[in-house]
Structure 1
């Protein structure tokens, strides 16, 4: 991974975008060699527990399968933003690998998690800063064009205070817009943002994606298969101090 730290001013600018728009695109998070490595690693995955294959190949908790995945829990640019948004003691609540094949149908407009319903007058107040509880990072391993499953986002919709209703396609006159980007770019978005997937309309290309979910310290880590979950000793031995914290090795605090 690149070792250069992200300038604090750039992280602050990106944090402002998360508060204002609900999402921000981070260009060039991964180098070309890392993109190739991840695509090859995804091709080598085997289904476990709740994983599934078909037009969508979906693999959960990949960080626990091999130390190869560890550096992609805290890539430069992404981790600074996650910590700025969710606290220096935030952690990972999931890391999933996706492969969307031709004919795949994307999900409709939705939000991932709404911590609580708040009064509309409060959400409409530009002076009110809505705290974040969970953020997702999409690490794109392809150049995303309109035919290759672009993620669609509705700017500002995190302040709607509710999920989109059936058939709803916009919020306050703003429709979902496709995020077109390059291989190695990353999209960070907050859990209240209205967003959607898109179909794979290509003749023969599959979209490769690595997704990481970050949560505040008090957001539970949900690693399937839950009661039967065991950390891979090889992964823990290879993890850095920050990666171990992201995996749940926290200092003592309330409710521990």
Structure 2
């Protein structure tokens, strides 16, 4: 489980690396199901959320297999999320992003949901699952340690958020590693300059009083929801009328409905 020393590092840096946390069988199950979904969904892959030039995407993954249901409930992730946001949080989305070989562009530095901490504190957290090794050349994530405490977005301080920040570091690691991020920390993917894709999964969580990025109740099939445990239903906010209200507003205004 997460130690007090690790939580202190999370407070200080805004992220925590858990090397090779996934067991080999779980990693291979995720990889296999993800590649199967890319084949099954074809050109529509990721369309529940967004598509992206230079990358393959999947969205609404909790709806697509038990291996994803297990991934969003990893105890170390839930413990760290509660430390970041307090005990009342929920899954906001579960997506996959695979950067194409020889993709030429970095992502801009950003904070997820364009979020700034409010009077109640931090309200977004993200976990990166390294499904392949993250190396300096294949699109590893860059992070600016401590930037979650600045209460500013990159675009408010930087002329060009695509540019390198003098304090940024590159987070590399072996496949199966998890990176738990206070998602107010400035971060962004980098270009994949290799001949192979670089796959990652992102389990994104938000505080209970904020809308989900992807409205889980609307997106997940009723038949799939029927077998969920009470704990998973709570994590997805499936029985929370206030979440319905908040997330419906986002879904309608963004055109993101199913």
Partner residue of 2:206 out of 204, 208, 215:
215
Structure 1 pair 43–251 and aligned structure 2 pair: CA distance change class (3 A): closer
Q: 1:157 offset after TM fit, Å?
A: 1.1
* Deviation for aligned residue 1:255: 11
Residue aligned with 2:75, SS: coil
Give the corresponding residue for 2:110.
110
- Is the 1:138–1:211 contact (alpha carbons within 8 Å) kept by the matching residues of 2? yes
CA distance in 2, matches of 1:247, 1:116: 22
Distance in 1 of aligned mates of 2:36 and 2:61? 11
Measure how far apart 1:19 and its partner are: 1.8
Counterpart position of 2:233: 244
Counterparts of 1:184 and 1:145, CA distance in 2: 13
CA distance 1:133–1:53, shift in 2 (3 Å):
closer
The corresponding residue for 2:149 is 159
Partner residue in 2 for 1:185:
177
Contact 1:67–1:238 (Cα < 8 Å) also in 2: no
Deviations 1:161-195 (A, max 9, x none): 21122236577xx5210001111111111122111
Cα deviation, 1:89-141, whole Å, max 9, x if unaligned, reads 310001001111112223022222333589xxxxxxxxxxx932110000111
Residue 232 of structure 1 and its aligned partner are, at CA, apart by 1.6
CA contact (8 A) 2:26 2:67 kept: no
Structure 1: distance between partners of 2:179 and 2:244: 33
**TM superposition shift of 1:253:** 8.3
User: What TM-score, normalized to structure 2?
Assistant: 0.79
What CA distance in whole angstroms lies between the structure 1 residues aligned with 2:61 and 2:26?
A: 16
Contact 1:99 1:208 in 2 (8 A): yes
CA contact (8 A) 2:211 2:243 kept: no
| Post-superposition offset of 1:16 | 2.0
- In structure 1, C-alpha distance between the alignment counterparts of 2:80 and 2:97, rounded to whole Å: 23
Structure scoring higher RCO (CA < 8 A, sep ≥ 6) equals: 1
Counterpart pick for 2:189 among 189, 197, 211: 197
Distance (Å, rounded) in 2 between the aligned partners of 1:54 and 1:167: 20
| RMSD after superposition | 2.8
Moved over 4 A (4+): 168-171, 250-256
Task: For 1:33 and 1:254, locate their aligned partners in 2 and report how far apart those are by CA, in whole Å.
Answer: 34
CA distance in 2, matches of 1:50, 1:110: 18
Unpaired segments of 5 or more residues in structure 1? 1-5, 119-129
How far the C-alpha of 1:66 sits from its partner, in A, is: 2.8
* 1:37-52 equivalence runs, <5 A: 37-45=29-37, 46=41, 47=45, 48-52=47-51
Measure, in 2, the Cα distance between the counterparts of 1:253 and 1:108: 33
In structure 1, distance between residues paired with 2:214 and 2:167: 34
Which structure's residues are more often helix, by fraction?
A: 2
Alignment size in residue pairs: 232
Shift of 1:151: 0.4
Q: Deviations over 1:47-91 (max 9, x none)?
A: 244443653011111112233310011113112211232233310
Distance 1:101 1:157 in 2: 28
Q: TM-score, normalised by structure 1?
A: 0.80
